[in-house]
Amino acid sequence: MLTPRPPSLTRLLRADLTILRHPSRTSLPLRTPVKIARSLPLAAAALAALLAVGVNTAFSACDPKPDGTWMHCHHCQNQVTAGAGVLALVWGSSAFVSNRALRAGLQALGVIGAAVVFLLPGVICPLCMMETMRCRTVFLPFTRIMSVLIAGTGVTSLVTTLRGLRRPARTLAQAAA
């Protein structure tokens, strides 16, 4: 009985070069790239979660008045927190939806929601009158910057999803095959 001869070094190198030149000729699994369709919505969800945490901690609105009542900006802070929480849920769920049309709808909803959160402090909900108050110097810029980042990431994600929705029209020959 003959024992199988071990492959020579030249033969192994030749096989490696063939794999490098023609990756489709190998049965080895190649590393798959990170799916942008899932990573961009997750990035937007993470930014929305950071917005929700940030407006309640380091970038909060004004403190209560000396008599213990809250100013208008506190209610605005609560609205931004709720909006950011909803955005985090919408973006997070759109990352795990396999239906592209539903994913595109959720992402469009997320972009519109980010625009609403952008307009909440100062436009939809009133802030304090003095420009030196904490709500105008800390809370408003943080909310605006984060909502622009969320909307930008969301638009990129939406464009990526919509590009995947367009498919070339099938000819009759392709449909018959």
Mean pLDDT of the chain: 82
In a domain, 44, yes or no: no
Burial level of 32, CB count in 10 A (0-12/13-18/19+)?
exposed
What's the pTM value of the predicted model, to 2 decimals? 0.73
Tally of domains within the chain: 1
Q: If pLDDT is split at 50, 70 and 90, which confidence band does 176 have?
A: low
In a domain, 173, yes or no: no
In a domain, 27, yes or no: no
Contact predicate 45/96, CB 8 Å: no
Q: Is the pLDDT of residue 150 over 60?
A: yes
Closest to 128 measured CA to CA, from 83, 67, 79, 65 = 65
> Which residue, chain included where needed, has tokens 């945490």?
53
Q: Using a pLDDT cut of 90, give the percent of the chain over it.
A: 51
pLDDT 10s digits, 34-47: 466 788 999 999 99
pLDDT 10s digits, 49-102: 999 999 999 999 888 888 988 888 899 999 999 999 999 999 999 999 888 899
Residue 9, pLDDT score: 55
In a domain, 35, yes or no: no
In a domain, 132, yes or no: yes
Residue 100, pLDDT score: 87
DSSP code at position 74: H
Q: How many CB atoms lie within 10 A of CB 58?
A: 9
DSSP 96-162: S---HHHHHHHHHHHHHHHHHHHHTBTTTB---SSTTSHIIIIIHHHHHHHHHHHHHHHHHHHHHHH
In a domain, 157, yes or no: yes
Residue 29, pLDDT score: 46
Number of alpha carbons in the 13 Å side-chain half-sphere of residue 45: 16
Q: Is the pLDDT of residue 106 over 60?
A: yes
pLDDT 10s digits, 6-27: 656 555 555 555 555 555 554 4
Burial level of 52, CB count in 10 A (0-12/13-18/19+)?
buried
In a domain, 112, yes or no: yes
In a domain, 85, yes or no: yes
pLDDT 10s digits, 127-143: 988 999 998 999 999 99
Q: Which domain holds residue 158?
A: 73-165
